[in-house]
């Protein structure tokens, strides 16, 4: 029935909404233990994200090197990725964003689980936390910034009793505010029928039902579900997802940008706006300059993705790569390798000789 890539049917987003990608490699990814990203390397990462067509990235602005990198990116006047800020829920952090001429949007960290409110922030009640968060968002809006509300630890929070009422008040201040669903410890699940506080589909639907226009997922990979949760967000109505290249980030990392990109471009209708041809090169850069070890069998960018050694596989690929390659190597800038090894057959030996 199917004998070429072009013949394979593509999926459609059920709600048909336009969706976008934002990158946190230079913010959350830079918090990965043992990683130091120099300014010149941040600019190279910015260049790769531009080549791919990623719509937005976020940056810290706390240090001189943060400011230097942000200024250099802004001075390039690229349409994408848009450079945005990140702030805790206090005016001093927001002032750092305002001081960086050219940044028009900031995320604001809004910690919403009880353990975050009481233990991390040291606040006694949810009411205190709500006042703090609403004041911060109002301050950003009053000073002309577009906003994102980063709902930290949402998959361990009281959604009906605290989160959704807070969200309604946030969109009263800024109707266009992007509500970021932050699955901070990876407890979220992409499956239908999973209730509060874990179900990403239900959470997205509930956000839409209370009038949220813009929903973004930011998912961590502690249980291995981050990228699936990002895609589940899109599938049920989110229009943004925030990811990192190679899944960089704290602990087990984040939703993997390269995997989501490949899935959207190759499997879903309407995503030809992204150019994936530099993904393999990007991964090699991260390995060489940032020190991120890329497993050889890692999807999309691993060295073995298009390597064939066993007799059955090599014979098939030699006849028609479609038999054992799910997409062409050139799509992601990869290279096919036909290898001779312990499991090889006569077909690959003949191919190599010829």
* Domain shared by 328 and 235, yes or no: no
What is the average per-residue pLDDT within 12-26? 97
For residue 317, the model assigns a pLDDT of: 82
Looking at the 3D structure of the chain, how many domains does it have? 2
Task: Domain of residue 319: give its range.
Answer: 307-353
Confidence of residue 344 (pLDDT cuts 50, 70, 90): low
Spatial separation of the C-alpha atoms in residues 38 and 192, rounded to whole Å: 42
Residue 353 clears pLDDT 80, i.e. is over it = no
With respect to residue 259, please indicate whether it lies within any of the assigned structural domains. yes
217 phi/psi in degrees, rounded to 5: -100, 145
Burial of 3 (0-12, 13-18, 19+ CB in 10 A): exposed
For residue 272, the model assigns a pLDDT of: 93
With respect to residue 301, please indicate whether it lies within any of the assigned structural domains. no
With respect to residue 62, please indicate whether it lies within any of the assigned structural domains. yes
With respect to residue 295, please indicate whether it lies within any of the assigned structural domains. no
* Domain shared by 215 and 326, yes or no: no
Residue where one domain finishes, among candidates 259, 290, 321:
290
* Domain shared by 72 and 10, yes or no: yes
- Coil, strand, or helix at residue 38? coil
Structure tokens at 331: 């799509």
For residue 131, the model assigns a pLDDT of: 98
* Domain shared by 235 and 316, yes or no: no
Residues 166-176 pLDDT 10s: 999 999 999 99
Looking up tokens 């001075």 gives 75
* Domain shared by 156 and 259, yes or no: yes
Spatial separation of the C-alpha atoms in residues 232 and 304, rounded to whole Å: 28
Cα dihedral across residues 198, 121, 250, 93: positive or negative: positive
Q: How many CB atoms lie within 10 A of CB 173?
A: 17
* Domain shared by 311 and 285, yes or no: no
For residue 309, the model assigns a pLDDT of: 73
* Domain shared by 236 and 334, yes or no: no
Q: Find the CATH number of the domain harbouring 88.
A: 3.20.20.70
pTM value is 0.95
Looking up tokens 């969109």 gives 171
Q: Tell me what the pLDDT averaged over the chain comes to.
A: 95
H-type helices in the chain, by residue range?
39-52, 64-74, 91-99, 114-115, 126-142, 164-173, 200-209, 226-235, 257-267, 279-285, 311-319, 346-353
Residue (of 258, 209, 199) closest to 232 by Cα position: 199
Residues 227-265 pLDDT 10s: 999 999 999 999 999 999 999 999 999 999 999 999 999
Residue 41 clears pLDDT 80, i.e. is over it = yes
Looking up tokens 């993904």 gives 279
Confidence of residue 8 (pLDDT cuts 50, 70, 90): very high
Residue where one domain finishes, among candidates 258, 290, 322:
290
Residue 345 clears pLDDT 60, i.e. is over it = no
Residue (of 18, 23, 81, 84) closest to 53 by Cα position: 81
Q: What percent of the chain has pLDDT over 90?
A: 90
Confidence of residue 314 (pLDDT cuts 50, 70, 90): confident
* Domain shared by 201 and 337, yes or no: no
* Domain shared by 256 and 321, yes or no: no
* Domain shared by 184 and 62, yes or no: yes
- What residues contact residue 87 under an 8 Å CB cut-off, 6+ apart? 93, 94, 96, 97, 106, 107, 108, 109, 136, 140
With respect to residue 296, please indicate whether it lies within any of the assigned structural domains. no
For residue 315, the model assigns a pLDDT of: 74
Instruction: Tally the C-alpha atoms within 13 A of residue 322's C-alpha that lie toward its C-beta.
Output: 9
With respect to residue 297, please indicate whether it lies within any of the assigned structural domains. no
With respect to residue 302, please indicate whether it lies within any of the assigned structural domains. no
With respect to residue 17, please indicate whether it lies within any of the assigned structural domains. yes
Crossing angle for the helix pair 257-267 and 226-235, to the nearest 10 degrees: 40
* Domain shared by 232 and 257, yes or no: yes
* Domain shared by 158 and 259, yes or no: yes
């Amino acid at each position: 029935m199917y004998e070429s890539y072009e013949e394979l049917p593509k999926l459609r987003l059920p709600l048909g909404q336009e969706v976008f990608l934002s990158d946190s490699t230079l913010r959350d990814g830079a918090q990965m233990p043992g990683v130091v990203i120099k300014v010149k390397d941040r600019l190279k990462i910015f260049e790769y994200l531009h080549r791919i067509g990623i719509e937005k990235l976020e940056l810290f602005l706390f240090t001189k090197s943060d400011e230097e990198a942000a200024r250099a990116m802004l001075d390039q006047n690229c349409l994408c990725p848009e450079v945005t800020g990140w702030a805790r829920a206090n005016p001093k952090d927001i002032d750092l964003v305002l001081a960086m001429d050219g940044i028009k949007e900031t995320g604001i960290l809004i910690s919403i689980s009880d353990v975050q409110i009481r233990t991390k922030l040291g606040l006694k009640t949810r009411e205190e936390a709500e006042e703090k968060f609403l004041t911060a968002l109002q301050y950003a809006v009053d000073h002309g910034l577009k906003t994102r509300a980063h709902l930290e630890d949402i998959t361990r929070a009281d959604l009906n009793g605290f989160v959704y009422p807070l969200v309604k008040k946030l969109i009263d201040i800024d109707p266009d505010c992007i509500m970021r669903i932050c699955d901070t410890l990876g407890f979220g699940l992409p499956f239908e029928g999973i209730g509060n506080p874990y179900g990403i589909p239900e959470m997205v639907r509930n956000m839409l039902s209370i009038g949220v226009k813009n929903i973004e997922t930011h998912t961590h990979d502690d249980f291995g579900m981050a990228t699936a949760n990002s895609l589940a967000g899109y599938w049920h109505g989110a229009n943004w997802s925030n990811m990192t290249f190679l899944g960089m980030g704290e602990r087990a990392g984040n939703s993997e940008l390269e995997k989501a990109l490949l899935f959207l471009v190759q499997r879903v209708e309407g995503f030809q706006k992204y150019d994936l041809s530099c993904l393999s090169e990007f991964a090699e850069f991260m390995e060489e300059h940032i020190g991120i070890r890329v497993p050889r069998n890692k999807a999309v960018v691993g060295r073995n993705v298009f390597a064939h050694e066993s007799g059955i596989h090599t014979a098939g690929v030699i006849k028609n790569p479609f038999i054992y390659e799910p997409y062409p190597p050139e799509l992601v800038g990869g290279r096919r390798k036909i290898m001779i090894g312990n499991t090889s057959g006569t077909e690959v030996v003949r191919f190599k000789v010829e």
